[in-house]
Amino acid sequence: MNPIYDMAIGAYSCAVGLASPFNAKARLMRRGHAAVWRTLREKLEPGARYVWVHASSLGEFEQGRPVIERIRSRRPGLKVILTFFSPSGYEVRKGYQGADVVCYLPFDFAMSARRFVDMVSPEAAIFVKYEIWRNYLSELRRRGIPAYLVSAHFRPEQRFFRKGYGWYGRWLRSFRHIFVQDSGSVGLLKGIGITDVTVTGDTRFDRVADVAAQAKVIPELEAFCGRKGSQGHDSVVMVAGSSWPRDEEVYAPWLAARREVKAIVAPHEFDAARLARLKELWPGETVLLSELKERPELAGKARIVVIDCFGLLSSAYAYGDIAYVGGGFGVGIHNLNEAAVYGIPVMFGPNHARFMEANDLKTLGGGIAVDSRESFGRAADRLLHDSVEREKRGRWAGEYIEENKGASDKVFSAIFGDAR
């Protein structure tokens, strides 16, 4: 299947080039790929010992980050090279100080894989969740460099396990060991003859716990919520994180009618048109966080704050009593754990079946799935008017995070030993 695979990679590379004049993400990717080899020549230290960590995008990076930080703190003699596939990961984390080198991963051509592994010569390679690139894995295996897959979560409908796709599942044999989130993944892998597998859980639990412990104080949101440290606040605050227009169609009418509720809205993507549309949903009541920074007096007049910058959502959840996490009316929900770690109930849309944490939170009662404007309204009203239920569900959500921490230590110990 190598020729077909290489043709598919070539077609994708060409598509990125053709789209780059018209598509911002494609343009960023093309520009980043053009700089990869120069970046490696300039930043790799001759004779240094590298561990290579690869993440597709920002979400996968957040899963790999706890492992990277344990490498940095417990194995100071090792350096870390971090690669991304997607601009949405690289452009946000290209300045990440936990890695010694950060760059795009060149497209998975056999020649590029050989050149990359030649230059980096890693002692080990760690791929996060679903990152499975045939030529890179083949090159690592040919040289005897161990490759690991971390925080993987497999489902029966994936190609690895479908009839007629045995060749695809065999790619997984290139990993020396696979660390999975759940026992169901172990069974699926065993069914295709892969047994070097360990259930460690999801490293994202460690990441959100670390973030919560170091949450940023956002003075503008403290002023807006009427909250001073641990003294509480008068209004119930809903945080809508990673919100898409489809999500707003569901919760915006309820929020418009519940004037006793304050809200912090963090759109998944934002530009001038998107921000203008959000302001139109709640006219006269909405202010951008950037506007609050310039005019603090607006905090006392607004009822909805829209976060118009990156990097604050994980800390913003700390100011909420209720969370709604977006994406569930589209391709899939975003990071529920990021909100649940603060001990608040989490609502989300219907497209969540493949997300283990969503199903777990539903079962435990810390998460509530909604599938329409009406079901959102019913669930949100219960949480708004029944403080006992709100606090109970929030406690269950927080306990779920606490009980599932520790995956990063298990992965680190299995790969590098137990030194601290």
Instruction: Report the CATH number of the 2-202+405-416 domain.
Output: 3.40.50.11720
Is 367 strand, coil or helix?
strand
Task: Return the bridge partners of 80, or none.
Answer: 51
Domain definitions of the chain by residue range: 2-202+405-416, 216-403
Instruction: State residue 227's pLDDT score.
Output: 57
Same fold, 2-202+405-416 and 216-403: yes
Task: Return the residue matching tokens 């909405």.
Answer: 286
pLDDT per position in the chain (420 positions), as tens? Answer: 577 888 888 898 999 889 888 888 889 989 889 999 999 999 999 999 999 999 998 889 989 999 999 999 999 999 999 999 989 889 889 999 999 999 999 999 999 999 999 999 999 999 999 888 999 999 999 999 999 999 999 999 888 888 877 777 888 999 999 999 999 999 999 999 999 999 999 999 999 999 899 899 999 999 999 754 334 456 899 999 999 999 999 999 999 999 999 999 999 988 899 999 999 999 999 999 999 999 999 988 899 999 998 889 999 999 999 999 999 999 899 999 999 999 999 999 999 988 889 999 999 999 999 999 999 999 999 999 999 999 999 999 999 999 999 999 999 999 998 654
pTM: 0.81
Of residues 302, 393, 409, the one with CA closest to residue 342: 393
CA atoms within 13 A of residue 116's CA, in its CB half-sphere: 25
Please spell the DSSP secondary structure of 286-326, one letter per residue: EEEHHHHHH-GGGGGT-SEEE--SSS-HHHHGGG-SEEEE-
Handedness of CA 383, 386, 392, 398 (dihedral sign): positive
Q: Which two tokens stand for residue 393?
A: 């569900």
Q: Using an 8 Å Cβ cutoff, are 135 and 109 in contact? A: yes
User: Cβ of 155: how many Cβ atoms within 10 Å?
Assistant: 13
Quick one: 216-403 is in which CATH superfamily?
A: Glycogen Phosphorylase B; (3.40.50.2000)
Name 271's Cβ contacts closer than 8 Å, sequence gap at least 6. none
